Homo-oligomer: A and B are copies of this chain.
Amino acid sequence: MNIISKTRSFGGTQSVHSHVSEVLGCDMRFAVFTPPADVHGAGPYPVLYWLSGLTCTEENFTAKAGAQRIAAELGLVVVAPDTSPRGEGVPGDPDGAYDFGLGAGFYLNATESPWSKHYKMYSYITRELPTLIEKELPADAVRAGIFGHSMGGHGALTIHLKHPDKFKTCSAFSPIVAPSEVPWGKKAFSNYLGSDESAWAAYDASALVSKNPSGADILIDQGMADQFLEEQLKPERFAAACQASGQSLTLRMQDGYDHSYYFIATFIEDHLRWHYERLTRR
């Protein structure tokens, strides 16, 4: 694990690291906020994994969400990985589209060629990255949560629902909740997973929650002026599936907010406090 940069922020440390990912077959970057040790001790601290949306790298959340202030106050480690494999030999969208390939790994393990060689973000996020973080940083393996935005909200929901014992708490901003039914998801799943839609359900939050509610609470914030709300996001699908299966869900429709990081920054404090409270409850 190499250090790309290390910057003081709210008394803690915002750093960016690189490492060789065996799972993805390329170098990967991730950003980490570590809270001030003089306030909170040396840790290990509760840890949150943030999954970003389409086109993002490890930098967007780190620079724009304003999470460091509350993470420093509470004593939380926050990890923000990149959104896809990258680098030499990693194929991108043939047409250079923003919604598939580079920056658009969809937090799944691709089974179709040529994607299946590198696009294994599901294994990367659920196994390789936390193992590295827990080994190298003061992050508590038994107090971990996951959250994300848009495509990353999809990632957070699906990973929490499949691993509620590893990622105990979950929240999302503007998540893709029914990828099997919307254009972004159909494009990604048909390419990464093939045309047999029965394979898609393993990465569809609404399908997953219908069969396996997690037992935890889930928090979702969704802007009502979000340009992608009707065509791509459809939070009502997930809400209906949660209600049917008994999954606890708090869905907040936020008047006037769009899909941007200005929306995330406005409500990030609520999400961090929400995770912290549940991860540290005795």
| B residues in contact with A91, CB < 8 Å | none
CB distance from A254 to the nearest CB of B (A): 8
| B residues in contact with A68, CB < 8 Å | 262, 265-266
Binary flags per residue of A84-125, CB closer than 8 Å to B gives 1, else 0: 000000000000000000000000000000000000000000
With beta carbons under 8 angstroms apart, the residue of B14, B258, B260, B266 that contacts A262 is B14
Complex-state Cα separation, A7 to B260, whole angstroms: 8
Complex-state Cα separation, A260 to B223, whole angstroms: 30
Complex-state Cα separation, A11 to B260, whole angstroms: 14
CB distance from A118 to the nearest CB of B (A): 30
Contact (Cβ within 8 A) A63 B63:
yes
CB distance from A270 to the nearest CB of B (A): 12
- CB interface residues, A 236-270, toward B, < 8 Å: 256-258, 260-263, 265-266
Complex-state Cα separation, A63 to B69, whole angstroms: 15
Contact (Cβ within 8 A) A265 B66:
yes
Q: Looking at chain A's contact residues, is the secondary structure mostly helix, strand, loop, or mixed?
A: mixed
Contact flag A8-B66 (CB < 8 Å), given A14-B262, A262-B14:
no
Binary flags per residue of A62-88, CB closer than 8 Å to B gives 1, else 0: 011010110000000000000000000
Nearest B residue to A11 by beta-carbon distance?
A: B266
Contact (Cβ within 8 A) B262 A7:
yes
Contact (Cβ within 8 A) A8 B256:
yes
| B residues in contact with A202, CB < 8 Å | none
Contact (Cβ within 8 A) A258 B64:
no
Contact (Cβ within 8 A) B64 A10:
no
| B residues in contact with A225, CB < 8 Å | 8
| B residues in contact with A10, CB < 8 Å | 265-266
| B residues in contact with A256, CB < 8 Å | 8
Nearest B residue to A64 by beta-carbon distance?
A: B63
With beta carbons under 8 angstroms apart, the residue of B7, B63, B260 that contacts A258 is B7
**Residue A9, interface by CB 8 Å:** yes
| B residues in contact with A63, CB < 8 Å | 63-64, 261
Which 9 pairs across A and B sit closest by C-beta, in order of nearness? A9-B262, A8-B256, A66-B66, A7-B262, A8-B257, A10-B266, A63-B64, A14-B262, A7-B258
Given contacts A9-B265, A64-B64, 17 further A-B pairs with CB under 8 A are: A7-B258, A7-B262, A7-B263, A8-B262, A8-B263, A9-B266, A10-B265, A10-B266, A11-B266, A14-B262, A63-B63, A63-B64, A63-B261, A68-B265, A68-B266, A69-B265, A69-B266
A-B contact pairs, 17 of them (CB 8 A): A7-B260, A7-B262, A7-B263, A8-B256, A8-B257, A8-B262, A8-B263, A9-B262, A9-B263, A10-B265, A11-B266, A14-B262, A66-B69, A68-B265, A68-B266, A69-B265, A69-B266
